[in-house]
Amino acid sequence: MLTIDTAHAHCDIPCKVYDPAVIQYSALSIIRFMDLIADEIKDSDMNASKISQLARLTAVKEQHAKEVKSEVSTIWGDYFKEPQISKYPEIHELTHSIMQLASKCKQDINRDNGVELLEKVNKFTEIFWETKNIKTEKCYAPYPPELVIVCPVLKSV
């Protein structure tokens, strides 16, 4: 008879494929949609077309906020285990603050919340790559809102 004493996996399907880039993209998108919504609101000519555009922008902004929450909770819950948690005990509070800020970004259009969300996502990204002993660098995103993101320094082929 076959017996298995211990099995180890960090998720339901131990694929080992995790990357916080989706979270960063979503956080940048939230800020971009907040900017676009603010531009639409500035225009005093609120016709049916403008109202429809605002509804679409708001829906997509909220979808990206949900994506941030989903992706960060997946990486936090499935990837971060011992010894990562021992080395980075702040990951719990950081994850919670990201979740709270993503909710604020869903609820309103305060750009400062979006910028703070991106800053926390960048910190999460730094910690993630540090756990893999991969260096990072800060770069400006090549698309609006052209804010700083943390990128892994990848090996050349």
Position 113 in a domain: yes
Q: Which residue has the tokens 């709270």?
A: 100
Position 139 in a domain: yes
Position 28 in a domain: yes
- For residue 96, the domain's CATH number is 1.20.120.400
Position 57 in a domain: yes
Q: How many domains does the chain have?
A: 1
91-121 tens-digit pLDDT: 999 999 999 999 999 999 999 999 999 999 9
The pLDDT of residue 10 is: 46
Position 9 in a domain: no
Radius of gyration over alpha carbons of the chain, in Å? 19
Structure tokens at 108: 């309103």
33-87 tens-digit pLDDT: 999 999 888 876 888 888 899 999 999 999 999 999 999 999 999 999 999 999 9
Structure tokens at 27: 């956080």
- Provide the whole-model pTM: 0.86
**Which domain covers residue 38, as residue numbers?**
21-152
Structure tokens at 12: 């339901």
pLDDT confidence tier of residue 5, bands split at 50, 70 and 90: low
Position 87 in a domain: yes
